Amino acid sequence: MEKKYWQSFGALNQSDAYQKDVQNEFKEDIPALSEDSNLLEAKTPRRDFLKYLGFSTAAAAVAASCEMPVKKAIPFVNKPENITPGVANYYATTYVQDGDVVSVLAKVRDGRPIKIEGNDLSSINGGGTSARAQASVLDLYDTARLRFPSIEGKEVTFEAVDKAVAEAMSGLTGSVVLLTSSIVSPSTKAVIAQFLAKYPGSKHVTYDAVSYSGMLDANLATYGKRVLPSYHFEKAKTIVSLGADFLGTWLSPVEFSKQYAAGKRINEKDPSMSKHIHFESVATITGSNADEKYTHRPSETGAIAAALLAAVRGEAVNVADEKLKKGIAAAAKALNDQKGAALVVCGSNDPSVQIVVNAINEAVGANGTTINWAHTSNIRSGNDAEMAQLVKDMNAGSVGALLVYGANPAYNWYDVPSFVAGLKKVKVSISFNTKLDETTELCRFSLPDHHYLESWGDAEPKTNYFSFIQPTIHPLFKTRQWQDSLLKWSGATVDYVSFLKQFWGAKVGGEAGWNAALEKGVWQPEAASVSSTAFNGAAVAAAVDTARAAAKKDGLEVVLYQKVGIGEGQGASNPWLQELPDPVSRATWDNYFVISPALAKTLLGIDLSNGGQADAYEVNPPKKVIEVKVGNQTLSLPTLIIPGTDPNTIAVAVGYGRSAKTGKAAEGAGKNAYPLASFNGTFVAYHAANATATLTKDKYPVALTQTHFRYDTEQGNRTEVMKELTLGDFKKHPSEIYDERAKELEPWGGIEKFESDGTIYPVFDRPGIKWGMSVDLNTCTGCGACVVACNAENNIPVVGKTEVMRGHEMHWLRIDKYYSGDLDNPQVVFQPLMCQHCDNAPCENVCPVAATNHSSEGLNQMTYNRCIGTRYCANNCPYKVRRFNWSDYTGSDSFANNQEGIISDVTMDMQDDLTRMVLNPDVTVRSRGVIEKCSFCVQRLQEGKLKAKKESRPLEDSDVKVACQQACPTNAIVFGNANNKESAITMTRMDNKLRTFFSLEMLHVLPNVNYMAKVRNLPASEKHKAEAHS
């Protein structure tokens, strides 16, 4: 035994009190400041005071000295395989969230996934991503993730929880039900089948928060199978959408955007494009992109579908509203003109409406052309009736165990109280969800699943299109894949990884085939084909009647919709998505009632056609709160007036009002709108008639990133900012835009010589590389994927609602939205705007310290550590793309954490060591008081140049892809070296000479970003018609 030395009895006995004492470094109270005496009563206040004064002065001096705290990076002693410090690895994996599937590459730096890129090899999303896929990497580092398994909220081990579950499940009365969101993984389906087989009488209920049950049921009725087909928007010359937001939130928006853009991409030599006619109740990005758009009551969707069917068949159209009637006639004509290349989609969850839509598609020959049954879609398979039955069963006490994965009915089921009451009667409730969401909170057992970036898995979004998931980081917390749990509980001896390998081994060609498939991330065993399926029209006549009968004539109606970022509510706890402005309303951090200008006039007393009133509404963030009552549900929210909304409709986004336990970002953001939905026995309806709205006295601030939505003013139409025209005009006068530019610049040398003749200063040659970007406004849908990609790539801070409200958001890339035309139903254009990298930049010459300057490659660069923050550059930027660090948003000040109460909790949360793991080490984290802005992803440019240099060859297009360009699902952004005659950017500019323009070109700032005008598939405008006649 070792010899023991001791100084006191406490030390000898190691008593508790002694232990505590030892831990406490400062045993005695600070004399003057002990609790029960104040400074003056203390024994030696003056001397102590002087001591403290001296100490604190010295401490402050030390803290405030020029030295910033040094954090040391310790090198690897042994270099791990495949990890080279400073070099990124890319792993192919798949973003899967409740049925949404995007094949992606995860960029991993030093063992941390930091960025999601689209997988170019995928034939579905082909390199494109969505805002949510881009933001998903931040969820990995979410501080609100569940970190360990628990029983009734107490941390336990997986062994313990397995044991407890086994005990609970044995001797269970009542059925075992597995409640999940749509499952797209074939191997998981096999695991589930194994599990269900173990428990007789058990079943699997699939529940989608925003359900496509009606569509599935309609397909069952007319095509005999309860599945969704895949769509080919690219083959459709005519697209009619009845409220389906297929570019934003409907089914597979990334895929559809890509297809849609293919039909909208214009060839100047022979201009033609698809025609898109849109009917909707609330303004969405799809409606904004449409060539023609009509608004209607939500309840009228079925009647419109029925009328369209009649019109397509050449029968009389029975619609009272003149505008709608015209729209239906136009849609029917356009569909009939393009039989075999026409497509109708509908966002309704009513099976009878979808049956009518199926009938229209059948009539216009979509089946087997634009609608493909050869590769059916698996991304949604929920069944509302089954879910409703489950809730009933739970309340009846016949459900013994409920295992929840992905689904969150305690938040998003239309009748939360009955689900919650039912759940209380279920003996064994188990949640596999990754966060303490509303449902998990109520479950007895919580076995958090991995984040997808930590997981193994697979996905089959469409039949025979496979995409694989592989882990990119060791699990951060004590989590376990839920498939492992199921396997364990069903008595299997293999874990899920082995199961997965076994599952695929034979199919993909053994170990080597599996590795190859994992490397590519996608696997498509057979060539894509298109086929039709037999249509059974028996149900159509009855469906038409039901659909027609649903239409209401009067009263207000409420419709629920999804936002691009938040979706069903999964995005609510993601700060990037909360701060992503909604493409249509440009609002962040909240949901609100969306109403039309006409309704605003009567309900709010705000007349948007009155300049002063419109201004007052726009410039003040507090918006009037209204209370909407549907049945016995009421909801009070602020109102935003969005032109393009139906005058009888009040729309509200779902996905808000989440529990604060799901994350700081969700806290206090909006209110839950799901209770306004209803269930009629077969499907959940996301709209309600007979609503009443009353104006309250309250006002509630909404954080908008854009206040004004029109580019025409009384003083003139600001066409230098934005250019759009109709296809008819473009055909008649292809060079309209070019001529306009030429005329404007004529006094200063015309387009060609404007650079030299527009200035009295000498002009420099620009040899070597000259970076340039081109944005096609025709294919940009405004989805916002680029904005989030930019956030992730460039470490752009999240500032939170209060700061956005003060105009302090930091986005380097924003998507401006402009209306034109009629106030009630305007046309909408989106314009992504980033730093234009002007060759004659007004920001550069006003900086007193030359902190922003021009590179020899045409970049307008920002030197953060030279910047003193005068903001003169931001003032003098005509595009207002420069962003100032108003507060210490990144925690990079020398006084750490002095921003408590100054910046939002979300921003503080983003400074957590965990969340900071998402930061891109190649990009400087900016400190308080400096300006920042788009750098054209200079870190990527350097990397690309270096790569080319190492291979001793000139730079190629493939070497460099900037983040926004990479993320864009429609390839609207082209980037490259404009000095290279063969580069994509040069070719794009040459091929689209007639549509190319530079925003605010007349200022002679010489931007390096050009735009290509938006062309809408409409006939020639009146102006040009008149010209043609004269």
Partner 1 sequence: MSLLKYESQLREPLVNGNKTYAQVTEDIVRPIEAKPSKLWYIGFYISVALLMFGVYSVYREVTYGIGQWNLNKTIGWGWDITNFVWWVGIGHAGTLISAILLLFRQGWRTGVNRAAEAMTIFAVMCAGQFPIFHMGRVWMAFFVLPYPNSRGPLWVNFNSPLLWDVFAISTYFTVSLLFWYSGLIPDFATVRDRAFTKLRKRLYGIASFGWTGSTKHWQRHESLSLVLAGLSTPLVLSVHTIVSFDFATSVIPGWHTTIFPPYFVAGAIFSGFAMVQSLMVVVRKVFALEDYITIGHIEAMNKVIVLTGSIVGIAYLTELFMGWYSQNKYEGYTFWYSRAYLFSPYGWSYWGMMACNVLSPQIFWFRKMRRNLFVTFFMSVLVNIGMWFERFVIIVTSLYRDYLPSSWSVYYSPTVWEIGFYMGTFGLFFTCFFLFAKYFPTIAIAEIKYVLKTTGESYKADMTAIEKESASDFAHKVHAH
Question: Interacting stretch for partner 1, rule CB under 8 A, among 530-538, 737-745, 884-892, 948-956?
Answer: 884-892
- Minimum CB distance to partner 1 smaller for 393 or for 809: 809
Interatomic CA distance for residues 688 and 645, integer angstroms: 16
* CA separation, residue 603 to residues 359, 472, 625, 626, 702 (Å): 39, 53, 11, 9, 18
CB of 854 to partner 1, least distance (A): 12
Residues 271, 340, 505, 929: which binds partner 1 (CB under 8 A)? Answer: 929
In the DSSP assignment, the letter for residue 405 is E
Our finding on whether 704 is near partner 1 (CB under 8 A) is yes
Does position 53 bind partner 1 by CB under 8 A?
no
Question: Which residue(s) pair with 634 in the sheet?
Answer: 629
Based on CB atoms, which residue is closest to partner 1, 542 or 849? 849
Which span sits near partner 1 by CB under 8 A: 463-471, 568-576, 677-685, 899-907?
Answer: 899-907
Check residue 868 for interaction with partner 1 (CB under 8 A).
yes
Least spacing, CB of residue 328 vs partner 1, in Å: 34
The residue within the footprint of partner 1, chosen from 711, 730, 771, 936 (CB under 8 A), is: 711
Interaction residues for partner 1, span 719-748 (CB under 8 A): 721
Q: 354 and 215 in contact (C-beta within 8 Å)? A: yes
How many CA within 13 A on the CB side of residue 310?
Answer: 19
Contact with partner 1 (CB under 8 A) among 715, 765, 913, 952: 715
DSSP symbol at 918: G
Amino acid, res. 777: L
Nearer CB in complex with partner 1: 354/831: 831
Distance of alpha carbon 697 from alpha carbon 625, whole angstroms: 7
397 part of the interface to partner 1, by CB under 8 A: no
| Per-residue binding letters, 664-703, with partner 1 (x by CB under 8 A) | ----------------------------------------
Cβ 719 to partner 1 shortest distance, Å: 9
Tell me: does residue 706 bind partner 1 (CB under 8 A). Answer: yes
Distance CA 313, CA 354 (A): 17
CB-nearer residue toward partner 1: 845 or 861: 845
How many CB atoms are closer than 10 A to CB 396? 11
Return the structure tokens found at 166. Answer: 């086994």
Rounded least distance, CB 1007 to partner 1, Å: 12
Minimum distance of partner 1 from residue 183's CB (angstroms): 42
> Residue 759 interacts with partner 1 (CB under 8 A)?
no
Q: Report the residue number, 511 or 615, with the smaller CB distance to partner 1.
A: 615
Q: What is the DSSP string of 827-882?
A: EEEEEEE-----TT-HHHHH-TT--EEE-TTS-EEE-GGG-----HHHHT-TT---
Taking residues 601 to 640 in sequence order and writing x for each that binds partner 1 by CB under 8 A, - otherwise, the string is ----------xx--xx-xxxx-------------------
Give, in order, the Cα–Cα distances in Å from 1001 to each of 484, 748, 989: 60, 12, 16
Q: What is the 3-state secondary structure (H, E, C) of 425-441?
A: HCCEEEECCCECCHHHH
Q: Which is nearer to partner 1, 734 or 878 (CB)?
A: 878
Give the residue carrying structure tokens 């954490």. 897
Considering only 888, 932, 959, 1001, the residue that binds partner 1 (CB under 8 A) is 888
Q: Is 646 in the site for partner 1 (CB under 8 A)?
A: no
Q: Is 189 in the site for partner 1 (CB under 8 A)?
A: no
For residues 410, 412, 415, 416, the Cα torsion angle rounded to the nearest 10 degrees is 20
Both tokens of 440, joined, read: 């998990």
- Span from 235-243, 527-535, 762-770, 885-893 in contact with partner 1 (CB under 8 A): 885-893
Strands 771-776 and 973-977: antiparallel
Residue number with CB closer to partner 1 (893 or 943): 893
Nearer to partner 1, 380 or 928 (CB): 928
Footprint of partner 1 on 946-1005 (CB under 8 A): 999-1000, 1003, 1005
* DSSP-derived pairing of the beta strands 556-561 and 687-701: antiparallel
Using CB under 8 A as the binding rule, whether residue 718 contacts partner 1 is answered as: yes
C-beta of 161 vs 721, nearer to partner 1 = 721
Write out 451-516 in H/E/C secondary structure: CHHHCCEEEEEECCEEEEECCCCCCCCCCCCHHHHHHHHCCCCCCHHHHHHHHHHHHHCHHHHHHH
Q: Least Å distance between CB 755 and partner 1?
A: 17
End-to-end CA distance of the chain: 113
Can you tell me the distance from the alpha carbon of 201 to that of 180, in angstroms, rounded to the nearest whole number? Answer: 17
Based on CB atoms, which residue is closest to partner 1, 448 or 800? 800
- Sheet of 292-295: strands edge to edge? 292-295, 275-280, 238-242, 342-346
Q: Which residue has the tokens 């801070």?
A: 797
Amino acid at 531: S
Report if residue 101 touches partner 1, rule: CB under 8 A: no
The interface with partner 1 within residues 350-389 (CB under 8 A) comprises: none
Whether the Cβ atoms of residue 693 and residue 556 lie closer than 8 Å to each other: yes
Separation between Cα atoms, residue 137 and residue 574, nearest integer Å: 10
For partner 1 (CB under 8 A), the number of binding residues is 75
Single out the residue of 69, 80, 525, 716 in contact with partner 1 (rule: CB under 8 A).
Answer: 716
**Could you tell me which residues are beta bridge partners of residue 62?**
none
Residue nearer to partner 1 on the CB measure, 592 or 709 = 709
Residues between 838 and 867 that touch partner 1 (CB under 8 A): 842, 845-850, 866-867
Interface segment toward partner 1; rule CB under 8 A; list 215-223, 385-393, 715-723, 742-750: 715-723
1011 binds partner 1 (CB under 8 A): no
CB of 615 to partner 1, least distance (A): 5
**Which of these segments, 338-346, 365-373, 386-394, 883-891, binds partner 1 (CB under 8 A)?**
883-891
Best CA proximity match to 844, nearest among 864, 867, 871, 873: 873
Does residue 164 belong to the site contacting partner 1 (CB under 8 A)? Answer: no
The H or E element containing residue 996 is strand 996-997
Q: Does 709 help bind partner 1 (rule: CB under 8 A)?
A: yes
630 contacts 676 by C-beta, under 8 angstroms: yes
Q: Which residues in the 799-818 window bind partner 1 by CB under 8 A?
A: 803, 805-809, 814, 816-818
Q: How far is the CB of 926 from partner 1 (least distance, A)?
A: 10
Residue 628 or 804: the one with the smaller Cβ distance to partner 1 is 804
Of the residues 47, 424, 708, 743, which one makes contact with partner 1 according to CB under 8 A: 708
Residue 537 or residue 929: which is nearer to partner 1 going by CB?
929
Q: Distance (Å, rounded) from C-alpha 373 to C-alpha 781?
A: 27
| 816's tokens | 């401006």
Among 553, 880, 949, 953, binds partner 1 (CB under 8 A): 880
Q: Kindly report the CA angle at 928 between 925 and 932, in degrees rounded to 5?
A: 60
Q: Which is nearer to partner 1, 13 or 897 (CB)?
A: 897
Q: Rule CB under 8 A: which of 437-456 touch partner 1?
A: none
**Residue from 82, 107, 105 nearest 518 by CA:** 105
Q: Does 903 bind partner 1 (CB under 8 A)?
A: yes
887 binding partner 1? (CB under 8 A)? yes
Residue 240 vs 847, nearer CB to partner 1: 847
Closest approach of partner 1 to the CB of residue 348, in Å: 33
* Pairwise CA distance, residues 877 & 884, whole Å: 13
Residue written as token pair 């045409």: 858
**For residues 791 and 887, which CB has a smaller minimum distance to partner 1 in the complex?**
887
- Choice between 445 and 879, CB closer to partner 1: 879
